[in-house]
Amino acid sequence: FLWGVGSSAYQTEGAWDKDGKGPSIWDAFTHVKGKVLRDETGDSACDGYHKVKDDIQLLKELKVNHYLLSISWARIMPTGIRTEQVNEKGIQFYNDTINGLLESSITPIVSLYHWDLPQVLQEKYGGWQNISMINYFNDYANLCFEKFGDRVKHWITFSDPWAVAEKGYETGEHAPGLKLGGCGAYNAAHHIIKTHAKVWHSYNNTWRSEQHGMVGISLTSGWGEPVDPHSQADIDAAERYIQFHLGWFANPIYRGDYPEAMKNYVGRKSAQQGLGTSRLPTFSVQEKSYIKGTSDFLGIGHFTTRYVTQKSSPFLQGSSYNTDHDLAELVDPKWPAPGYEWLYSVPWGFRRLLNFIKTQYGNPLIYVTQNGVSEKAPCAQLCDAWRIEYLQGHLNEMLKALNDGVNIKAYTAWSLLDKFEWNKGFSERFGLYYIDFQNKNKTRYPKASVDYYKNVIRANGFPDPREVEKWRQKAMDTCSITHQLLDTDSLITHMEMVTEIVLPTIFTLCILISIVLLLFFLQKHS
């Protein structure tokens, strides 16, 4: 079993315009006021671009088997178009990263797309709304296979394409910030699925025989549980919840077409609107067979669970992806939610999701690519007891799913560092390591969960409960020591401020007072 941690390019690298990198849609989006909380940007983020060695050191200390990272398309192809420009410095950067990992016996798992489309492709073609993305992305993927594929054996085409489609082109919360209600998400997803299939076939036809790697997709999905398990309407609504998230992408790839529930509901809503065809695009027969079976493994991201009930939305409300499925999501107020109130910790939902995948998609090989919890704390919170609890709960349920016969090969804790969290800026923290983003140094401080996760990895799971309790206790003790170190650090910063601001001020004041006294003295004696 493989244990690892993950991160993504835009969220951590910074250096947004260094060494020939082109702008991405996230650079453009964050540079517009009002798009991100407090107008924060990923311009420097964790400064990961300059801290590859430091971060590999952290990974070595954790003793992870793998590290999941993403490549910034615009860093190696500034306009996104291979025939226009390839940026050797960008290639060098990822070569150094990959080599550094391998020298430390850490397997790189590389995602080609974690949301940072080159801005030129957005401006010229409308990004994922345009079918031409298929070929541009395929060129990019082939360059990556050519340059890195001798060493990288695990490729992810897209990380969480659901968010790309829904938040990027439907609600506009994410870059490129388009609100193309009703069609935007479906069209983006349609092109992404076709692109994924094309890239898998490219690898299969051109690179596989020589490089012997795997190509998969990483889908992020919550679990939906019926509010009333005896109500068929609720059971169907909960099923739709999953099908509109996970099934939207997994069904075409594993079964050859969109889920029936999506085809039915979007089709019916479109007809009610008086549209001649469904807003959900269709695949031709050839496309279906071309797409089916194009994943050597399934990456799964999972964070939280919802109770789901049937709720018809009148079509007059305006049609959108978010009303097409006729359901309402509920939460149990008893579920812990340490961060923003979307991420409730519900470990049992994880096991159910994993079992659903096993039965729906023919027990595919699963790599858990994202699982973790955030916090909203504005200041240093190194003793993250709730993260330890979240990890323990979710790992336990994952291990139960393994016993259920689910074919899970790897677990990736999300994420290595506190990082730029999209439209939430730096206010939402997922890291095992804490970063003070105010400080230019971007020093990494271990939270208690680092110590805990290290033990999980060393033991390859959980031994007896008493031992695990000892890990928790020790992690909490260690964190309070680190906490003191962090306090001392901020004290040093504070003392620097004292010398920089207070001393000159006092000095100036003394001179002023002396002048006044001197004048006074002179006046008296004249």
Which of these ranges, 125-133, 158-166, 279-287, 502-510, lies near ligand NAG under the rule CB under 6 A?
A: 125-133
Asked if 414 contacts 479 with a C-beta cutoff of 8 angstroms, the reply is no
Which of 441, 473, 505, 514: binder of ligand NAG (CB under 6 A)?
441
Asked whether position 277 contacts ligand NAG by CB under 6 A, the answer is no
Which of these ranges, 122-130, 280-288, 293-301, 504-512, lies near ligand NAG under the rule CB under 6 A?
A: 122-130
Asked whether position 129 contacts ligand NAG by CB under 6 A, the answer is yes
Asked whether position 264 contacts ligand NAG by CB under 6 A, the answer is no
Asked whether position 57 contacts ligand NAG by CB under 6 A, the answer is no
Kindly determine how many residues on this chain lie close enough to bind ligand NAG according to the rule CB under 6 A.
Answer: 9
Distance from C-alpha of 141 to C-alpha of 160, rounded to nearest angstrom:
17
Distance from C-alpha of 328 to C-alpha of 313, rounded to nearest angstrom:
10
Work out the widest C-alpha separation in the chain, in whole angstroms.
107
Which of 57, 99, 130, 231: binder of ligand NAG (CB under 6 A)?
130
Asked whether position 484 contacts ligand NAG by CB under 6 A, the answer is no
Asked whether position 126 contacts ligand NAG by CB under 6 A, the answer is yes
- Kindly provide the b/e burial profile for residues 108-138, where b requires at least 16 CB atoms within 10 angstroms of the residue's own CB: bbbbbbbbbbbbbbbeeebbbbbeebbebbb
3 state SS of 468: helix
3-state secondary structure 235-267: HHHHHHHHHHHHHHHHHHHHHCCCCHHHHHHHH
Asked whether position 168 contacts ligand NAG by CB under 6 A, the answer is no
**Residue 130 CB, nearest distance to ligand NAG (Å)?**
4
**Residue 322 CB, nearest distance to ligand NAG (Å)?**
22
Asked whether position 132 contacts ligand NAG by CB under 6 A, the answer is yes
Contacts of 497 (CB under 8 A, 6+ apart): none
Cα 30-34-40 angle, rounded to 5 deg: 45
Asked whether position 493 contacts ligand NAG by CB under 6 A, the answer is yes
Distance from C-alpha of 10 to C-alpha of 119, rounded to nearest angstrom:
13
Which of 204, 273, 439, 473: binder of ligand NAG (CB under 6 A)?
439
Nearer to ligand NAG, 230 or 440 (CB): 440
- At residue 157, φ and ψ (nearest 5 deg) are -70, -55
Asked if 399 contacts 461 with a C-beta cutoff of 8 angstroms, the reply is yes
Residues near ligand NAG, by CB under 6 A: 124-126, 129-130, 132, 439, 441, 493
